[in-house]
Amino acid sequence: MSTTHEKTSCQRSSESRKPSSVTGVVKTEKTEVFSPENTGLSDVTAFQSESELNTDIAVKKSQQSPQHVTNATADVSQENEVSIQNFRTWDHGVDWGVLIWIVVIHVGLVFAPFTFTWQALALTLVLHWLTGGIGICLGFHRLFTHRSFETSQPVRWLIAWIGGLAGEGSVTHWVANHRKHHALSDQEGDPHSPNDGAWWSHMLWFFPKFSSNGYKSYNTRWAPDLVSDPVLNFLDRTFLLWHIGLGLMMFATGYCWDGVSMGLSLLVWGMFVRLVFVLHATWLVNSASHMWGYRNYETRDDSRNNWWVALVTYGEGWHNNHHAYPRMARAGHRWWEFDLTFMTIRLLEKIGLFWNVVDGQHQTNDVGPKSFQ
């Protein structure tokens, strides 16, 4: 775990995918990672050359904001060196705002046994899928971070708003963290690697405070395509207000329905219970899916496919598959790897809300090439 402001670096080699000696595993030295210069394009497949993809985007970004691009032709998957600034460290103390937010959510969970109703449980399950499944898994992750598909600007903003209600911060900062994770996965500079401790990767990593102006600089460094969006910036500034508003609305609905007890039931379960389970489900992808499970691909990190994490994250637990092919909209690559998020993407594609879904081919020794179109 780094605790200084010194820049660290890592190197990525770009080699072709080749089968390993282990049956059913594909060795993929060339992982399609996201660098700050690689924010995704709509007209590429999961197999397009990384160097082509990164160089094209980097040049465009350098033309828009050259001060934020380290090298217009940088490709972190090749032999080039990538310098990483550690904006968030313990040197600046604890981020009390984040700590208080997490503590309040977990304290609210204590009242769950005393406020249970079946109506509240149903609300919790629906909002867990809506905010965690649609907002985080489909939206923050596959749409905004990896550009696995395209949609209209109003739909993008709607999904960003829904994802914000999952309690994991703004979409811009979430994307910045995740892109850095892919660029430096399980290496020095990875925001949340189990190599720095299981609890660190699960939830301790976001408690250190940013340096002065570090939050803005960090987001600009890793999510340059999102920082200039005025709607996303507005959602970032009003993050807490939306949660307060949602909580008041749930209490008011329950109160009008069946008095104070129902209002408290919907509030405690729809807000606190739901947030705790959404947060820890997401965090399990960062921790458990880098420690336990099996691997379809020999990536340059410790990512694993974990079925029980996939179950509570609507398909995100097929993490080794994702690290091998980050831009691919489908995370489950074998028939038993159920991916509800991808099924949702396909459904919304069929009704015309999504398009240019990035999907393609991959292969394993035992099944051979297979198309997922």
User: Tell me: the pLDDT tens digits for 37-82?
Assistant: 333 333 333 333 333 333 333 433 433 332 322 222 222 332 233 4
Domain boundary among 44, 64, 84: 84
Residues 162 and 21 in one domain: no
Residues 170 and 29 in one domain: no
- Structural domain including 302 reads 92-371
Residues 63 and 206 in one domain: no
Residue type, 127: L
Q: pLDDT digits over 10-35, tens only?
A: 333 333 333 333 334 454 444 343 33
Is 3 inside a domain boundary? Answer: no
Q: Which residue has the tokens 């009008």?
A: 256
Q: pLDDT digits over 215-224, tens only?
A: 889 999 999 9
How far apart are alpha carbons 119 and 142 in whole angstroms?
A: 31
Residues 73 and 126 in one domain: no
Q: pLDDT digits over 154-165, tens only?
A: 999 999 999 999
26-27/297-298 β-pairing: parallel
How far apart are alpha carbons 226 and 248 in whole angstroms?
A: 30
Helix (H) or strand (E) holding 178: helix 171-183
Q: pLDDT digits over 220-243, tens only?
A: 999 999 999 999 999 999 999 999
Q: What is the pLDDT of residue 50?
A: 31
Residues 43 and 139 in one domain: no
Is 2 inside a domain boundary? Answer: no
Is residue 35 within 8 A of residue 75, CB to CB? The reply is: yes
Residues 185 and 66 in one domain: no
Residues 103 and 194 in one domain: yes
How far apart are alpha carbons 245 and 19 in whole angstroms?
A: 52
**What's the structural domain count of the chain?**
2
What's the mean pLDDT when you consider all of the chain? 80
Q: Which residues are CB-neighbours of 214 under 8 A, at least 6 positions away?
A: 87, 88, 92
Which range has the worst mean pLDDT, 19-33, 57-71, 83-97, 173-187? 57-71
Mean local confidence (pLDDT), 355-373: 51
